[in-house]
Amino acid sequence: MATGKKVALVTGANRGLGLETARQLGQKGVTVVVAARTLKSAEETAAKLKAEGIDAFPVKLDVTNAKDREAAAKTIGDQFGKLDILVNNAGVAPQDGVFTPKTISTTEEELQDIFGTNVFATIAVTRSFLPLLKKSEAGRIVNLSSILGSLTLHADPNSPIAGVKSFAYDASKAAINAFTIHLAAELKDTKIKVNSAHPGWVKTEMGTDAAPMEIPEGAKTSVDLALLGPDGPNGRFIHLGQELPW
């Protein structure tokens, strides 16, 4: 069933920044497809948003599962006929957090786990939904990155992130930034815009209660990039309207 409203898919939408991103998009009149690893979780999230007056639709999507990706793309295609916004929000952090310095001691298992979700699954999800995004009048792809993926800032001993070096996570976000640059270049002759979003240091499970930003503020960058007009940035790394160095 085609719809005149914008349709957005938010991965990992059942909690934290994903849930708040879906909420804020819904509040702006966007139909939000809320994706979670289990259908039960997705349905509970959609019901919560519907109770707030938001047009929400649940879908089961473990981003690391190829069958889930294929099924979700078919479901959204059959239901809406297009996809206007893809927010690649789902991601994981090291078990001991992003503030534990670790490089050569990073295990192969940790690298496989973090890259598997943060990088390989993000690319695979984007590949699965790109045909539907190309049916949009102005598709938008938002890749959730982190300032910890900035090679420029990591290389500067005086930068605010100089002492925060968890290799697997940081490298995964640097890879996402590279994906953003490459995909934006590949799609430059289309109406699709691709950007990386740094939400900020936010009070989530990953960010901990020590973070200075609340979740609603943290979701704002993704929402703004999802709703960019035709003159908005493309292939850029953004935080609250400001460009960050790669």
Annotated active-site residue 193? The verdict is no
82 is catalytic: no
The tokens for 211 are 């973070």
Close Cβ partners of 171 (under 8 Å, ≥ 6 residues apart) = 115, 149
Q: Are 31 and 7 in contact (CB under 8 A)?
A: yes
Strands (E), 121-218: 140-144, 193-197
Q: Which of 6, 60, 82, 169 is catalytic?
A: 169
Q: Which of 173, 191, 193, 203 is catalytic?
A: 173
- 16-27 and 39-50 are packed helices; what angle lies between their axes, rounded to 10 degrees? 40
Radius of gyration of the chain from Cα atoms?
A: 17
Q: Which residues are catalytic?
A: 169, 173
